Amino acid sequence: MTVVTQTDELRAAVAGHGLPRVLVPTMGALHAGHLALVHRARELAGPAGTVVVSIFVNPIQFDRETDLAAYPRPLEADLTACREAGVDVVFAPDVAAMYDADRSVTVTESLLSRGLCGAARPGHFDGVCTVVLKLFLLSGCETAVFGDKDFQQLAVIRRMVRDLNVPVTLIGHPTVREADGLALSSRNVRLNAAQRADAPRLRQALVAARTAFHAGSRTPSELLETARAGIAASALARLDYLALVDAESLQTVARLERPALLATAVFYGEVRLIDHIRLDP
């Protein structure tokens, strides 16, 4: 496995490996969810292709300095996990390698990023689009694998790829969960014991709403209230948002006639967790 930290080193490293090139962009603190993406990338690349994993805590997608400062960075453990998973190239740059001090170009998506996490985190998706496009260009990848847990992120990147004619195929991978239903996240390690024990209620609240949906409820306000009640029952959880949106446009729905997503973000102290569930009429 080759580990590089500079952009020119990345270009040279991937040039020395076979095609196709499959990228897995991450911010490190790798867990089983990330490794599921890596294994999928290995399948897509095949024995002759190249799997590239980026490990970069991207500062321009953070809306809170405290969140950026607290984000875990266990690089050595991440490199070990990548090596064991059969990664060919790891790109682990510092901020100076990715952004010039006087940088003045940002990639902005203006529709899908307006609501949900975009409304709560101004500038977040500008930072996501900018870094992902840079990683696409630097790695020369034909394919990139993302987790479905960050469904809005994937939707925004799909729109960027479509609208800018970026020649990269995007592959989504189902959310990987703990046995109690909590979606795997690098932020989970920052939960204290009480918060971690309580956090599975996000999934439980969404499942309760889906159960009501399958039982015949089609009124968005009723479904939202079912999920809201499950989250509000906790003294530890602070609701950031709860929304029912069209699965493609991510716009709020008044009637459930097309596939939709029930999505939430919840704070446990300073730790912000997200989850969603799909509702198919």
Burial class from Cβ neighbours inside 10 Å (0-12, 13-18, 19+) for residue 250 reads buried
Q: How far apart are CA 28 and CA 146, in angstroms?
A: 14
Strands 237-246 and 260-268 turn out to be: antiparallel
* CA-wise closest residue to 91 among 150, 159, 154, 140: 140
Select which of 31, 34, 39, 214 is catalytic.
Answer: 34
DSSP summary character for residue 18? P
173 is catalytic: no
Q: Could you identify the residue written with the tokens 């939709």?
A: 260
Burial of 216 (0-12, 13-18, 19+ CB in 10 A): exposed
CA distance 86 to 56: 19
Strand partners, 55: 26
Length of the chain: 281
Residue 162: which region, alpha, beta or left (left: phi > 0; alpha: psi -120 to 50)?
A: alpha
Six token digits for residue 277 = 């569930």
Is the distance from CB of 20 to CB of 142 less than 8 angstroms? yes
What is the spatial distance between Cα 278 and Cα 281, in angstroms, rounded to a whole number?
Answer: 10
Work out the number of other CB atoms within 10 angstroms of the CB of residue 77: 13
Residue positions annotated with a catalytic role: 34
